[in-house]
Amino acid sequence: MFRVLWLVAVLDAVVPLDAGMLFPRESSSRELKELNGLWQFRADRSANRNQGFERAWYKSRLAETGPVIDMPVPASFNDITQDPSLRDFIGWVWYEREAVVPSRWITDQGTRVVLRVGSAHYNSVVWVNGQKVMEHTGGHLPFEAEIGSLIRKDPTMTCRITIAVNNTLTLETLPPGTIQHMSDRSKYPDGFFVQNIYFDFFNYAGIHRSVLLYTTPKAYVDDITVVTDFLDNTGLVRYNISVQGAAAATMKVTLMDKDGHCVASSNEASGVLKVVDVKLWWPYLMHENPGYLYSMEVRLMAGDERATYEDVYALPVGIRTVKVTNTQFLINNEPFYFHGVNKHEDSDIRGKGFDWPLIVKDFNLIKWLGANSFRTSHYPYAEEILQMCDRHGIVVIDECPGVGIKDIRSFGNASLAHHLDVMDELVRRDKNHPSVVMWSVANEPAAEMKPAEFYFMTLIKHTKALDPTRPVTYITDSNYARDKGAPYVDVVCVNSYFSWYHDPGHLEVIPIQLNAQFENWYGKYQKPIIQSEYGADAVSGLHSDPPMMFTEEYQNAVLQSYHDVFDQKRKQYVIGELIWNFADFMTAQGITRVVGNKKGIFTRQRQPKAGAFILKKRYWRLANETGRLPPWTKYPVHSDMLLRCPERQRLDPM
């Protein structure tokens, strides 16, 4: 009873935005049409980058107002052509395509037609047939608008979609940036300007995730919030469903197990579903059956004077709990040790564009490595990636794009207000993913600055009010004694690069400095610590012994020295280690980057460096020691397919 009341209280604390942002899924009442593929494209190269608005490029076909090129969606536009000025273009770029809308969507007045953009970096304005339908600020989260009434105005017209996207960063965007104009004509050409950024990845831009049209009935399931718990063998799924488009509706909620059997049901829009003999959601390698998902089918019936509507939406639900103590991170009340990676959405040609082959390859590599977790450094990743994490049991620290907050002017009210909005959008989008176990509100902000305390206190309290079920952190690199935001986090996440950015070449400092880092942070805050970044650049194929910086041997040596300290401290309060980085990734050009950041243990093309094998051996060992695997799986095997295979018992350990 107490548990149920707690769940109710928790759910009431969730402060939703005006409307939900459920992932678009097909169902018997919902259709979906992807608009991915080739779009028409033009960069606005006018001096003020504003010609497109001045001449209203959205009013007619883009090809009628100037030259256009083919541009794939989803993809960053930067690496698609041979034109260096497009690679580094800053300002508005214009995308356009026509969509064929099924006639039933138009004739049926009881159907809503929604246009959804998975993400576009950074500011976007969207028109349909020359009418503005939405604007959005922020590069990594979805936005959508209902366009049914607009396309019904003239059913003979095709549906022409124009999207203008601007990658200009300001002190108030997330991440922040500044534009610097160079007026010295003895050094720079007329009109020369650069964008300064304070983060270490290329500011890829364009339409990065799917654009699609989907339908719902006029009365529809707008949002679902699920909070889970369990008591002995009984799972508790507290849910709340919000409905739009109907004053009154009847509801049928059915929770089904993996085999499609109903395990609990209800006729209420909110309540608690009790699941007898619950199968909990467990992380990969912590349990022999990780990533168990139920399906919560919501069937809504409503009507008005003209028609009746039925809407069906199925949400995957994993039942698990998360708790933090002074020294541990508990999933389902069992200690969980993060042995994982930091990633980027980044690859050749596509930049930050969504790409299924890349995503599936990355998951295969994560599992091969024996990693059980990753951090979405340094921005929210595609929803499809989180769905993969839910299904495979990969644990996620979900980070917002608060990276590179280094200028004191980025701690002002406008910045904070935007940061709070972004957290609202992020929590609204990702709150139901069992894989997401912690929110990260920022990476390496200048947390020693005076306004940082108020900024982070507000941000972290706000995030906890949005979602009291998950711990909140931000990632720090600064001195423990000066960090003003640390008192408010639940878990201390520290990045450090000993013998790289400090004492380069001196591997012998790592044990001393890393040990001091942990002791200082724990001594001051008594909170569990994750080493949220560590690593060294290694140019694949570069070798030297004794090890020298930038060689694979040096990367190995750094990893091994860190690991020795982790092994001592994980017996006390260190609860995880995330390598920087999973793969090499592109950055802005600069004297410390050789065609990008090379701290990957895989190359950008996803081939292993020597460090990948060190990590693989370690992670399988950690899985054997810290997971709850049955004895016959306690070998460093390559994939969970083998883990489930009884034949495995006869295989030799590798």
Residues labelled catalytic: 444
Classify burial at 328, counting beta carbons within 10 Å of its beta carbon; exposed 0-12, middle 13-18, buried 19 or more: middle
Nearest 10 degrees: CA dihedral of 21, 23, 25, 27? -40
**Alpha carbons 336 and 254: distance in angstroms, whole number:** 31
Q: Choose between 57 and 580: whose C-beta lies nearer to ligand GCB.
A: 580
Q: Choose between 478 and 633: whose C-beta lies nearer to ligand GCB.
A: 478
Binding residue (CB under 6 A) for ligand GCB from 299, 599, 604, 616: 599
**Alpha carbons 245 and 307: distance in angstroms, whole number:** 12
Considering only residues 551 through 570, tell me which ones interact with ligand GCB, judged by CB under 6 A: none
Q: Choose between 129 and 173: whose C-beta lies nearer to ligand GCB.
A: 173
Q: Choose between 355 and 533: whose C-beta lies nearer to ligand GCB.
A: 533
Binding residue (CB under 6 A) for ligand GCB from 223, 229, 311, 533: 533
How many other C-beta atoms are found inside a 10 Å radius of the C-beta of residue 404? Answer: 24
Closest CA to 527 of 383, 328, 253: 328
Q: How far is the CB of 198 from ligand GCB (least distance, A)?
A: 10
Contact call for residue 443 and ligand GCB (CB under 6 A): yes
Residue whose C-beta lies closest to ligand GCB: 200
Q: How far is the CB of 475 from ligand GCB (least distance, A)?
A: 7
Q: Choose between 227 and 612: whose C-beta lies nearer to ligand GCB.
A: 612
Contact call for residue 495 and ligand GCB (CB under 6 A): yes
What is the Cα Rg of the chain in Å?
25
Considering only residues 85 through 114, tell me which ones interact with ligand GCB, judged by CB under 6 A: none
Cis check: omega of the bond before 24, within 30 degrees of 0? no
Q: CB neighbours of 260 closer than 8 A, spacing ≥ 6?
A: none
Tokens of 270: 């909110």
Q: What residues form DSSP beta bridges with 244?
A: 220
Q: What residues form DSSP beta bridges with 295?
A: 256, 316
How many angstroms separate the Cα of 21 from the Cα of each of 149, 221, 345, 427? 20, 10, 22, 10
Q: Choose between 79 and 200: whose C-beta lies nearer to ligand GCB.
A: 200
Q: How far is the CB of 597 from ligand GCB (least distance, A)?
A: 5
Binding residue (CB under 6 A) for ligand GCB from 580, 582, 602, 619: 580
Binding residue (CB under 6 A) for ligand GCB from 444, 577, 584, 640: 444
**Angle between the N-to-C axes of helices 356-369 and 383-392, in degrees from 0 to 180, rounded to the nearest 10:** 30
Q: How far is the CB of 477 from ligand GCB (least distance, A)?
A: 5
- List the x/- string, 141-180, binding to ligand GCB by CB under 6 A: ----------------------------------------
- List the x/- string, 367-396, binding to ligand GCB by CB under 6 A: -----------x------------------
Amino acid, res. 630: P
Contact call for residue 477 and ligand GCB (CB under 6 A): yes
Tokens of 539: 């140019």
Amino acid, res. 99: A
Q: Could you list the residues that contact ligand GCB (CB under 6 A)?
A: 200, 378, 443-444, 477, 495, 533, 580, 597, 599
